[in-house]
Amino acid sequence: MQEKFEQLQAKLRDIIDLGSAAGILGWDQNTYMPPAAAETRGHQMAIINRITHEWATSEEMGRLLDDLKPYAESLDPDSDEARMIKVAKHDYDIATRVSSEFVVEMSQVVTAAFSAWAEARAKSDFKIFEPLLEKVVDLNQRFAAFFPEVDHPYDALLDQFEPGMKTADVKAIFDGLRPQQVELIQAISEQPQVDDSFLHQPFDEKKQWEFGEEVITKFGYDWDRGRQDKAPHPFTMGVSIDDVRITTRVDPNFFNPMFFGTAHECGHALYNLGHARKYHRTLLSNGASLAVHESQSRMWENLVARSYPFWEHFYPRMQEIFPQMAGVSLDQFYKGINKVEPSLIRVEADEATYNLHIMLRLELEIALLEGKVLVKDLPEIWNAKIQEYLGLTPPNDALGVLQDVHWSYGNLGYFSTYALGNLVSAQLWEVIQKDIPDLDDQIRAGKFEGLLTWLREKIHVHGRKYEPQELVEKVTGSRIDPAAYVRYLKNKFGKIYNL
């Protein structure tokens, strides 16, 4: 049986390598590809994805997995071999539901959709993106139909990003979380607002870039295995354990987007760089799920980079780089970067209101999938929902329905993982603080080795070996739960706003 297991691994390595090549093409499309190359890139992506799908669903792959079933059952269920076979079978069962023709069509549509989204966002004109988004929604409806046994069609989409999680589970978590966040936001709104005007002024773009790179170098980002580039919407591309690239964007008149976006993407990258070396070019060299991935990015962005101890170390350096901050005290700055105020842009939202952005998107995605909302009506419905959730009305499409890139990638089912990641980050943080009692002192001294080592040992090294709920429970003692996040928000903002 060991020989058959090696045969399986060899076939999977070929599939993984093809996926890595597609990843490079996707990274290039988002960073340096000339706009006119979109159609050709669509054909390139389609052929790679078609071949990958055909190999992944071949009869030989199916026979190998069938032959290895008794072998897997004879192993320790937590052994690497048993887990690899389990993950391979899970992926095979999903892939065999979908035709190669569908995979090719999806590849071509999303390549065109990204270019249309980028143009539509730049021109703030939803009509440019609308016909491609209609195709994306149709493709997702057709994908969900390949899984008639699910409780809700959205389960099929959600499972791609959060294995084992059901739509009903997410709704239940959000239903319990929403009133507590709304109550906190209401209490904050009744207090004097903090001033963050000093964050909205000219900040040299080159200096912003260099400061961000200086900070994530201290976090532990390995520049021999990574790089940072500009993109319309920040993302991380994990090509392999030795090639993990991040992107960001710079606002010359607002400090937050580049700095906290860079910290966020670095969190993703550190996770990808930390998978066990023995999993390289196997199915286990990946994140447990996007919620677990987001727990890492949101942790470095918020629990670390928006913390007071962090700025006790870095604020003098920031004032040195940006002399215009000389008259702003550390206390003023800390409160400013943590200001709670409903805003239009998800990626720039404060921690107290961020999850409301996610809940809105979940509601719209489910309605799109069910056919209760039509794509052509999205701008109007989006604006109405933003008003309902946050009391704001976008002045244009770029600040409204076009702000996120995810739908152009074909990714319906993704957004809830951001909020789930927030919850997991707080659950992990409570355990980390117990295991590293002097964590604040370490951060205050600009030392992040202890935190990164803990994350490496408890989360990163396992890669995709455990399902997300299983991993969270293994580390924290409970499944994904909002209680720790609510405690974190109330403690942090209670102090900032004197609640």
pLDDT tens across 258-310, in order?
Answer: 999 999 999 999 999 999 999 999 999 999 999 999 999 999 999 999 999 99
Rounded alpha-carbon distances, angstroms, from residue 353 to 183, 391, 439 = 11, 12, 27
Residue 302 CA from chain centroid, whole number = 14
CATH code, 413: 1.10.1370.30
Residue 126 shares a structural domain with residue 229: no
pTM equals 0.93
Same domain membership, residue 126 and residue 199: no
Residue 161 inside a domain? The answer is no
Q: Are residues 405 and 482 in the same domain?
A: yes
226 with 265, same domain: the answer is: yes
Confidence of residue 347 (pLDDT cuts 50, 70, 90): confident
Among all residues, which ones are annotated catalytic?
265
Q: Indicate whether 364 belongs to any domain.
A: yes
**pLDDT tens for residues 5-59?**
999 999 999 999 999 999 999 999 999 999 899 999 999 999 999 999 999 999 9
Amino acid at 271: Y
**In a shared domain, residues 226 and 262:** yes
Domain boundary among 88, 116, 149: 149
Domain membership flag for residue 310:
yes
User: What DSSP designation does 84 have?
Assistant: H
The number of residues in the chain equals: 499
pLDDT of residue 1: 78
Question: Is residue 233's pLDDT more than 90?
Answer: no
Is a pLDDT exceeding 90 seen at residue 2? no
Q: Is residue 158 part of a domain?
A: no
Report which secondary-structure segment, H or E, holds 236.
Answer: strand 236-240
Q: What domain range is 310 assigned to?
A: 167-496
Is the predicted pLDDT of residue 232 greater than 90, yes or no? no
Does residue 137 sit in the same domain as residue 177? no
Give the count of domains, the chain: 2
Are 325 and 196 in a shared domain? yes
Measure CA 104 to chain center.
Answer: 25
Euclidean distance between CA atoms 437 and 203, whole angstroms: 36
Residue 162 resides in a domain = no
Contacts of 337 (CB under 8 A, 6+ apart): 196, 199, 256, 260, 306, 311
Same domain, 342 and 418: yes
Same domain, 237 and 130: no
101 in the same domain as 39? yes
d(CA 301, CA 304): 6
Please choose, from the candidates 330, 269, 264, the residue with its C-alpha nearest in 3D space to the C-alpha of residue 302: 264
Residue at a domain's end among 101, 120, 149? 149
* Phi, psi (deg, nearest 5) at residue 63: -65, -40
CA–CA distance, 21 with 64 (Å, rounded to integer): 25
Query: CA Rg, the chain, in Å?
Result: 23
Per-residue pLDDT of 403-412, as tens digits, reads 999 999 999 9
264 falls within a domain: yes
Helix (H, G, I), strand (E, B) or coil at 203: coil
Last residue of one domain, picked from the residues 96, 115, 149: 149
Residues 179 and 286 in one domain: yes
**154 falls within a domain:** no
Q: What number is the average pLDDT over the span 162-169?
A: 93
Copy the structure tokens of residue 55. Answer: 């190999």
Is 346 inside any structural domain? Answer: yes
Residue 72 is predicted with a pLDDT of 95
pLDDT in tens, 482-491: 999 999 999 9
175 and 34 in a common domain: no
